[in-house]
Structure 1
Amino acid sequence: MASAITTLAADAPTLSAANTGFMLICSALVMLMTPGLAFFYGGMVRVKSSLNMLMMSFISLGIVTILWVLYGFSLAFGTDAGSLIGWSSDYVGLSGIGITELWDGYTIPVYVFAVFQLMFAVITPALISGALADRVKFSAWALFTALWVTVVYFPVAHWVWGAGGWLFELGVIDFAGGTAVHINAGAAALGVILVIGKRVGFKKDPMRPHSLPLVMLGAGLLWFGWFGFNAGSWLGNDDGVGAVMFVNTQVATAAAMLAWLAYEKLRHGSFTTLGAASGAVAGLVAITPSGGAVSPLGAIAVGAIAGGLCAMAVGLKYKFGYDDSLDVVGVHLVGGIVGSLLVGFFATGGVQSDVAGLFYGGGLEQLGKQAIGVFSVLAYSLVASAILAFLLDKTIGMRVTEDVEVSGIDQVEHAETAYDFSGAGGGASRGTATPAAAATKKVDA
């Protein structure tokens, strides 16, 4: 008996300084993705809305962080209750956690796991904001963010990653967030824009990006931070799986960018910087659920397929008449669906698990599981998000007035403008309208 106890004690995980440090770095990388997303989105809108777009991402860092500490971590990763939600009183306020207490079965502290997952929770509602550019009250957006993470994100995170969550128990593979993050955010974006409607001038007025350099900077920061997002999701680096995910992240992103640019050249005759940035993000989205299950050659296929399909999907808003301002549906929803379903084809059975896809002799079983995960999250997020947006719209109002939208949401909602057009070192006061500023305002409107 004594020897058995000794053996069990020897087999129990112990805190790893290397894995702990690695995960703290990954957490910081994922945090950087939210400012990166702010730049990515902020450069894609017209100048009169750029600060609002930045703020719609940045506010998530404040709101979601506090809610995660108060009850979000408990709902997402607490003791399972009915396969739908978690709850552990020790996780409320993170008050009952020992500083060296290890996360279940791993060699990192609970605090490290909690802060890593916090960064996922922060960026997911920020992703939604790109679909709503130019037309949503900032106060309404802040309240929507708080309600949405509570009603949608925290439960879905438990379904997908929480011990006992029904999709986790079903065997759905989502390495780092194809369903919980990207399909969730993309479906939510679609639900909200169907409620609040189109921008003034949609399909009539030019709504070109005001700063493509900012877009490229944001895409670069996202690409950089995504290595932490993906490789860190294995919660350690002892068996090489995280290294495979790191490689696949780079490979799939490159393939998707090239595929998007090839589609653009064939369809429109040009290679655009916006296409390069969007293609890279599409590849990052698609490899997020699948990168731990496929080989580097499979990652090329996942990226290329996602890049081409997402490039085609962004045009659907003009065909069907929904105003997805910055293509959240076309990139994140479609990319998340593609990456999640392709696990059922390209999983090798030799990386994160022994589950093999159709092309590796595994049949259709895993594809069926992936489809259940994809469409259950899509349906729940779409419906729940639309209901939340409808309730807010009927109570406090979601949209700014038409006059505010036309003149510029930055000045009204934030009392600031992104750029000072009064001249370098000029003596004009903040409220002085110079000819250059007046002309710029006229063009933007």
Structure 2
Amino acid sequence: MARRFLMLSSGMALVWLVASKSFVAYLAITAPDKALRISSSNPTALLNLADQALAPSGAADAASTEQAGVLDGRSKAAAGSSRPSDQQVAAWVQTALANEPFNARAYRILGEIADRSGDLRSASKLMSAAARHSLHESKAAYWLMLKAYEQRDFRTATYYADVLLRTQEQANDHIVPLLAKIAEDKDGTSEVKALLRTNPPWRRQFFAALLNSVTHARTPLDLLLSLQDSPNPPTTVELRTYLDFLIDHQFYDLAYSAWLQFLSADDLQRVGFLFNGSFESMPSGLPFDWVITPGYGVTVDIAERPPLTEFDTVADRTSEKRNERALFIEFGYGRAEFPPVWQLLMLAPGDYKLSGQYQGQLQGRRGLIWRTDCADNGSQLGQSDMLLGVAPGWKNFEFDFNVPKTGCRAQKLQLILDARSASEQIISGSIWIDDLKIVRKKP
């Protein structure tokens, strides 16, 4: 009986201990002043009070005023309306450190107090201690990053920038502008390049955000080129983000030059007025290559050409294009949403001819057309006849167009479904397209 009573008493004591500690832990976050009435040396409550006291908001002033009276034995009336002094806040933090000597947040708060008093040397030591104990102490890492940048210690600045971008999902808006400044400084750009070569997990988002922070449009190109021979070269997404930015701002020449610099030696051999017109390589999706976007009610693919038939010309049968690829488009039954297949061109002013071949069968009120427009203003330069109906063998098509001397620095070639209404989007069948070429006509 006594043993049972002892076990029951011990159990109740344990339950009370767990409950009371959990309750104090809860209050330390939601009402630190009340938590300290129960446990006067609770580190979390002390540090929450300290953070509130240092906060610039009026709400923090009111809260910390009451809490100061609790901690130093004053009544609420005696506390009046004054904020706790930095010395009082430091005392709270020191009490917290006595219980948790490796608490990174405590060192950061002491660093803030030292910084407020102008003691930068002590502030630097304390902030460094905070970051050393926990890289998730973001205020300390941010402070150290800014101070390192001010002192032109770009290696340390980029180190803490990396820390913040890895630990804080929303850090881009605050960190990328500073990294952009370092990248555009001749003494700092190598540090940014070295960091990017490690392929940090935030690199893709960095290049997207960088475009709104640089002062020169070539800065991202310089960074991307520095990655070209690294184990982690620029991805298609990173390149497309940069090229789209240049094109949106009509920096066509720079965009085209940048694209060329990332082509392989084999691809460079195939650059002409039109790139990859025979669809032999899978499109990269970059603007000066074919851009193919998924649609609704239609499948677009690059596939091996179908076998030649008795309907093909003698020249086609002789060439025996068995292993070559072609653009293949297949429509279902009903209405189709067909995003254009397109490519950006850089043609000098003059007269040109586009030619190609197609084979297949399309049924509908309207069919496909190839069209060239000015990229600057969308004005149409020329278009093919409609590809519609039955073409059992490969059939040629061509059209002429003129690139004017002004207002058309880049051009857009696109294959579109030439529908003028929803009912004209009803189309079925399939078609193969190949051997696209652009030649300049002699004057």
Name the TM-score, length of structure 2 as normaliser.
0.19
More contact order relative to length (CA 8 Å, sep ≥ 6): 1
Larger Rg: 2
Name the TM-score, length of structure 1 as normaliser.
0.19
* Structure in which a larger fraction of residues adopt strand: 2
